[in-house]
Structure 1
Amino acid sequence: MRRLLLVALLATAALLAGCAGTPERPATQVAVDDEVPAATSMNEADIRFLRVMAAHTEQSVEIARSVQDRIDDPEIKILVGAVKATEFDEHVMTRAWLQAVDSDPAATASPEDIGQAAIDGGLDRLRDTPDAAVDAVLCELLGTHHRTAAELARSHAEAGTSPEVLAYARRVEQSRAAGADILDRLSSGDA
């Protein structure tokens, strides 16, 4: 059963890695740089979503980095490595999109909008967790974080206008929901 889970984890890692990939550039796009195409036709909802996701992906990387050397379960290590790499790339992409349209590219969502207090509390709890319990606490914290991202992305579908941002939101919804499901199974021992 654990081999099936490992296959699922690797498939999720591949899906997550695809989240930040560079799509083909239609004629309507202007490149921000060599790696990140610009998003077109952004409205205020797209910009708000990108600000929230920029902060959210930064939090995910922080969660992953905070315990990367303390994770015991090899499947969790693989998933957390994929999360860290993918969400770092997504962070770069969202910041580039914001920089292209926003007069203040350093602006992010408010701490309340991104659940900063909950993340800070979760990180403190994770750092204080004995090594033997890190895997379970990490799965819980990252699973909750993933479900929040999936819900944010799902709600954006009704408000956004940029085809690129909407496509990104769909990828986030799918990958984070799948990642949260895997983290739940890993933490419950159903592997």
Structure 2
Amino acid sequence: MSTGICWARWLAAACAVVVLALGGALVMLSIALSKAPAVPGPSSADAGFARDMAVHHQQAVELSLIVRDRTDNEDVRRLAYDIVNTQANQRGMLLGRLAAWGLPKSPQDAPMAWMGHHDMHHQQHEGALMPGMATSSQIEALRRAKGTAAEVLYLKLLTEHHRAGVRMARSGSILAKDPLVKELAASMRTGQQAEVELIERLLERRGS
């Protein structure tokens, strides 16, 4: 057998191996892509929850920063410090998820539209965009209050804020598809419910 014929057969065999390898790689890539979680749409529950809870969290952080400078009570200041750290971190995770999806961070739809038929009816007024959120007048009153008066007002505002947050987080844990968002929503629900119980005890100590 001539050298030319042997070389041609070797080349043909090598090409066949390459083609098979490329075909196998494409099949594996196709399988991997089919199993990869789809990027949520801009009006999905995942995106809506991420945007709305980021806004909700931002106000809780704001209230906590205000009361930190209005009282010397260690229990209230410790609670405020925990909320600032926890909710600022969670807010960063939600906004980071939106960035990873390439979706706008600012709300595109009406607040809580992602929940569909929900029981959180709310009439927006004075900057209170969602249930549980304090109005601009209430925030200003907190800025003016001092000592026990500031503590009681903060704790009352935070109670309503957290209760609404728990309901929203519950819906997020059910409706969201992204595993990280579902897990984060479930964690928020548990954490904020525990804080509501703590807040109620702090209010009882103050006769409120």
TM-score where L is the length of structure 2: 0.65
1:58 is aligned to 2:64? no
Which residue pairs with 1:123 in the alignment?
139
- Asked whether 1:174 is paired with 2:190, we answer yes
Give the aligned residue type for 1:140: K
| Structure 2 gap ranges (5+) | 1-31, 112-123
Comparing 158-167 with 171-180, greater Cα deviation is found at 158-167
SS at match of 1:76: helix
Shift in Å, 1:148: 1.1
| Shift >4 Å, 4+ stretches | 108-113
Q: Among the aligned pairs, what percent are the same residue?
A: 25
| 1:74-103 alpha-carbon deviations (Å, 9 max, x no partner) | 111111101001111111111111112143
**What value does the CA root-mean-square deviation take over the aligned residues?**
2.5
Deviation for aligned residue 1:131: 3.1
CA contact 2:132–2:162 (8 Å) conserved in 1: no
- Residues 116, 104 of structure 1: CA spacing in aligned structure 2 closer, same or farther, 3 A cutoff? farther
Indicate the structure whose relative CO is greater, using CA pairs within 8 Å and at least 6 residues apart: 1
Q: Does 1:47 pair with 2:63?
A: no
- What is the CA-CA distance between 1:106 and the residue it aligns to? 3.6
Please give the residue correspondences for 1:1-191 in structure 2 after superposition, counting only pairs within 5 Å: 41=38, 43=40, 44-107=44-107, 110=110, 112=124, 113-115=129-131, 118-189=134-205
Amino acid at match of 1:128: R
In 1, Cα distance between equivalents of 2:141 and 2:39: 38
Given the superposition, is the C-alpha separation of residues 76 and 130 from structure 1 closer, same or farther in structure 2, using an over 3 Å criterion?
closer
In 1, Cα distance between equivalents of 2:151 and 2:58 = 20
1:110 Cα deviation after fit: 4.7
One-letter amino acid matched to 1:143: T
Q: Partner letter of residue 60 of structure 1? A: A
Higher alpha-carbon Rg: 2
| CA drift at 1:114 | 2.6
**3-state SS of the aligned residue for 1:104?**
coil
Give how far 1:72 is off: 3.1
SS of the residue 1:118 aligns to = coil
Moved more, 146-155 or 95-104: 95-104
State the TM-score, normalized to the length of structure 1: 0.71
Quick check: 2:173–2:181 contact (8 Å CA) kept in 1?
no
* 1-structure distance, mates of 2:58, 2:131: 12
Q: Structure 1, unaligned stretches of length 5 or more?
A: 1-27, 29-39
C-alpha separation between the residues in 2 aligned to 1:183 and 1:189?
Answer: 10
Contact 2:131–2:161 (Cα < 8 Å) also in 1 = no
The total of aligned residue pairs comes to 153
> In the alignment, is the contact (CA less than 8 A) between 2:64 and 2:81 conserved in 1?
yes
